[in-house]
Amino acid sequence: MARKRTTITMEVTRFRPGEDSEPTLQSYEVPLRKEWAVLDGLNHIKDHLDGTLSYRWSCRMGICGSCGMTVNGKPQLSCATFLVDYAPGPVRVEPLRNFPVIRDLVVDISDFMTKLPKVKPWLIHEGETPEGEFLQTPQEMDEYKKYSMCINCMLCYSACPVYALEPEFLGPAAIALGQRYNLDSRDDGDRRDVLASAEGVWACTFVGECSTACPKGVDPAGAIQRYKLTAAVAALKDFLLPRGARR
Amino acid sequence: MSRRRSPEPLVWLLFSGGGMAAALLVPVLLFLFGLAFPLGWLPTPDHAHLLALVEHPVTKLVLFGLSVLALFHWAHRFRYTLYDGLKLKAASTLIAVVCYGAAAAGSVVAGTVLLLA
C-alpha cells in the first residue's frame, strides 16, 4: 500500500513593493492534516519556516472577514478552506485580486472603506423613536436578514469582473449592505442618490460571481437586481407622475 | 436633485422585461412550430385557422410586444458584451446608438410585417 502523504506544498506569493520588481511564488512544505485550513498552513510557515511572511487573519472561524485570499485561483476565506481538499497539491495562495498589494498576501482595502459609508449602512429613522424595543415581526426580519450576514471580507470584490474593469463601481458588498437597510422595516433612509447612480447598481452586468464567491450566503447579485427594479420603477414614477404624487 | 439623469433604468426595464417574455414565450413557440407540428406530435392546425389567429388584433399585439422586448433585450446585452467583453467602452455612445437603433429598426420592421399580415 502506498504510504499516505503527510505533507503538502504551499506556493505562496511574496511581494514587497519598492523592493521587489514583481510578485514571486515561494514554495513551502507544510504538514497535511485533516483539520488544517489553508490559514493553519500559513501560520505553520510563519511560526516554523519563515517569519517574514505577511498576511491578515484574526478569528479563524469565518466571522471577522480578515483572511480572504486567492486559493488556487478562487477567492476564499483561508480559514474555511481546507488543505486536504487540495491534496496532493501544490496549493497556490495569492493575495485577493482587484486590490493593490501592500506586502505578500496583505491587500490595501481603503477603496472599499471609502465606499462603504457612502451607502449609509445604518438605521435611519424618521419620526418618534418608540419607547423600549423597536418591534419587528419574523417576516419583516426575513426580508433583510440574508443581506445582514456580510462580514466585509471583500471576496465579492475580488470575484467581480466589473470591479476589475471599473474601479469606480460601488461594488457588491456595499450595495448589498445598502439594501440590507432599505429592506429593514425600521429604516426610512433614502439611499437612492448613491445606489441608483451610474457607479451604483447600473454598473452591474449581473455576472453573478459575487454570489458564488460569498462565504456567508449573502447573494449580493440578487440584492443588486432587486434594487435595479426598485430604482427603475422610481425613475419611471419620476418621469410619469407629478411631483406631489411621487414616493 | 444632484442625481444624473440617465436612460439606464428605461433600457434596463426593456432588457429585463424582454428576458422574461422571451424565456416564457419563445421556448413554447419553438416547441410548437419547430418540433411538435412538423413532426406530427400534435395535430397540426390548418393554414386558414392559423391565419385567422395571427390576424386577430390581440395576437398581433402579443407578437409585437414579444418582438420589441426581445430585440431590446438583445441590444442591451450586446451593448455590454461589446463594452466589457471587447473592452470598447471608449466608443460607448456609438455602440449604444447602433445597438438600440438596430432594436428600434427591428421593432419597426416587426410592426410593419404584423400590420400587413
User: What structural domains and CATH numbers belong to chain B?
Assistant: 8-116 (1.20.1300.10)
Q: B84 and A198 in contact by Cβ < 8 A?
A: no
Does residue B8 belong to the interface with chain A, where contact is any CB pair within 8 Å? yes
- Within 8 A of B3 by CB-CB distance, chain A residues are 192-193, 196-197
For every residue of chain A, DSSP letters joined together read: -PPPP-EEEEEEEE--BTTBSS-EEEEEEEE--TT-BHHHHHHHIIIII-TT-------SSSSS---EEEETTEEEETTSSBGGGGTT--EEEEPPTTS-EEETTEE--HHHHHHGGGG--S----SPPPSS-----HHHHHHHHGGGG-----HHHHH-HHHHH-TTS--HHHHHHHHHHHT-TT-----HHHHTSTTTGGG-----HHHHH-TT---HHHHHHHHHHHHHHHHHHHHHS-GGG--
Q: Which three cell numbers stand for residue B49?
A: 385557422
CB-CB neighbours of B90 under 10 Å: 9
Q: B9 and A196 in contact by Cβ < 8 A?
A: yes
- Taking the alpha carbons of A48, A53, A58, A60 in that order, is the dihedral positive or negative? negative
Nearest CB partner across the interface for B2, out of A193, A198, A236 = A193
Average pLDDT, stretch B17-32? 94
pLDDT at A85: 96
pLDDT at B108: 96
pLDDT at B91: 85
User: What structural domains and CATH numbers belong to chain A?
Assistant: 7-107 (3.10.20.30), 110-245 (1.10.1060.10)
Residue A173: is it exposed, middle or buried by C-beta count within 10 angstroms (0-12/13-18/19+)?
buried
| Mean pLDDT in order along chain A per 10 residues (247 residues) | 78 92 95 96 97 96 96 96 93 97 96 96 88 91 95 97 94 96 93 91 94 96 95 88 65
- Within 8 A of A192 by CB-CB distance, chain B residues are 3
Nearest CB partner across the interface for B3, out of A193, A232, A236 = A193
Q: Is the pLDDT of residue B4 over 70?
A: no
Looking at chain A, the whole-number percentage of residues with pLDDT higher than 70 is 96
Local structure of residue B36 (DSSP, 8 states): I
* Residue B1: band (very low, low, confident or very high) from pLDDT cuts 50, 70, 90: very low
Nearest CB partner across the interface for B9, out of A161, A162, A236 = A236
Q: How far apart are CA A63 and CA A82, in angstroms?
A: 17
Q: What is the mean pLDDT of chain B?
A: 90
- Within 8 A of A227 by CB-CB distance, chain B residues are none
A106: β partners:
A103
* Residue B84: band (very low, low, confident or very high) from pLDDT cuts 50, 70, 90: confident
Half-sphere exposure of A181 (CA within 13 A, CB side): 22
Min CA distance, A174 vs chain B (Å)?
19
- The winner for highest mean pLDDT among A40-49, A119-128, B3-12, B86-95 is A40-49
In chain A, whose CA is at the least distance from the CA of B88?
A: A165
ipTM of the prediction? 0.77
Determine how β-strand A101-103 pairs with β-strand A106-107.
Answer: antiparallel
Radius of gyration of chain A (CA): 22
Q: How far apart are CA B16 and CA B22, in angstroms?
A: 10
Min CA distance, A53 vs chain B (Å)?
36
Structural contact between residues A208 and A200, judged by C-beta atoms closer than 8 angstroms: no
